[in-house]
Every structure is written in structure tokens, then in C-alpha cells.
Amino acid sequence: MKEIIQKLHKLNDLDIELQSIRKDLDRIPKELAAKEEEPKLLKEQIEKRKAEIIKLKMEADAMELEIKAGMEALKRYASQLNVLRTSKEFEAVKRQMEAQRGWNSENEDKALALLGQAEVKQKESDGLSAKLAEVEAALAIERARVQKDVGELTAKRDDLLAKRGELSKDVPAKELAIYDRIVVNRGQATAKVNKGFCAACHMKLPPQVHNLALLAKELVTCPSCDRILTPD
């Protein structure tokens, strides 16, 4: 039985290492997936800026058309001045021209403001594009590293599973079933006896349990945590 307990302890060491590898294999791709969200967000922001730039330029173009129409109106008013017969008509047209010049100037200011906003959005878009290029370059390196790490961990996991399978063959079915049940419930199935205490849960062992565990003539479990006790 002592030899079986020793094999269960070795089996436990393998299972602890396998648990660690499985956690890493689960964690690493998730961390990469989280990092891959950043370029997606950057692309969304770039597309938003592009849409805003298009809208601003369209509004500026509309203002340019208004300005052209206003300039044409001024020309018409100017031509009317040459054919007016009374000073009253002359003053009326001059007032219309002044009003038109005011509208034209206001529209020019609006057009310039829209183009200025478009320029700001373009600079923002350029900055986001530069950042996107940096992030994607870093991600390419990260993907290669993750692929390498996952490959190495997978190979190590497969090697440990093969060793576990070979070691399990030498453990009787009854003891192996007890061990597997504890692994499922506790993660760690064995615990050393350390100066009268269970090394896993640190509870003091009853004298009889302590002595039986040290003799290793039968499978003894900790009354507190239910793990298989192995001699120190």
C-alpha cells in the first residue's frame, strides 16, 4: 500500500501541474481576445471621424453654393443701380446690397468654420490611424507569442497526460476511484503529514489517524479536508 500511496502522490503532482496548464490555456487566449478589442474600437472611432468629416464638407459645400448665389445677387443689384431713376429706388437697392453682403460674409464665416472643424476631425483621424498601426503591430507580435506559448503548453499538457495514463495503470481501480473523486472535489487529492498536522488544511490530526497515515498500510484521509494523507 505504501507504494500505491507514493504513486498517488506522484499522480497528484502531475494533476496539479495539469490544472495549472489548463488554467493558462484558458486564460491566455482570453487575454489576447481582450487586447484585440482595442483595434476594433480604434477602427470604429476612425470610421466615425470619416463620417463626420464627410458631413462637415458637405455642409461647407452647401455654404459655398449659398455664397456663390449671394455673389450673383450682388451682381444683379449692382446692374440695377445703373438703371434706377429715383434716389428712393437707389437707396432701397443699396440697403439690399448691404444686407446681401452681410449674409455673404456670415455664410463665408460658417463655411470656414465647417472646414476648420473638418480639419480638426482629419487630424484626429490621422492620430487614431497612427495609433491603430502601432496597436496592430504590437498585436502581431503578441499573437505570435501566444501561439508559441499555447503550442508549448499544449505539448506539455499532452506529455503529462501520457505520463498520468501510464502511472494510473499501476494504481488499483478502488484506490484510483477514491483519488479521482477527491481531485474532482478538492483539486489537490493528497496531503503530507507534517508534525501531526495536515499540510493541506493545517488541521491537527487525531493521534490514531496520524499514526495510520505514517504507517501507510492503508489509505487514510484527513478528517477535515478529506485528502489522502501521505507520510512526510
pTM of the model: 0.73
Name the pLDDT band for 83 (thresholds 50, 70, 90). Answer: confident
Q: Per-residue pLDDT tens for 130-178?
A: 999 999 999 999 999 999 999 999 999 999 999 999 999 999 999 999 9
- Does the pLDDT value for residue 2 go beyond 90? no
Question: Model confidence at 199, in pLDDT bands (50, 70, 90)?
Answer: very high
What confidence tens digit (pLDDT) does each residue in 29-56 have? Answer: 999 999 999 999 999 999 999 999 999 9
Minimum mean pLDDT range among 23-27, 67-71, 78-82, 175-179: 78-82
pLDDT > 80? residue 85: no
CATH class label, 7-168: mainly alpha
pLDDT higher than 80, residue 111 = yes
Q: Which residues make up the CATH 1.10.287.1490 domain(s) of the chain?
A: 7-168
Q: Tell me if 159 sits within 8 A of 165, measured CB to CB.
A: no
Task: Determine what percent of the chain is predicted with pLDDT higher than 70.
Answer: 100
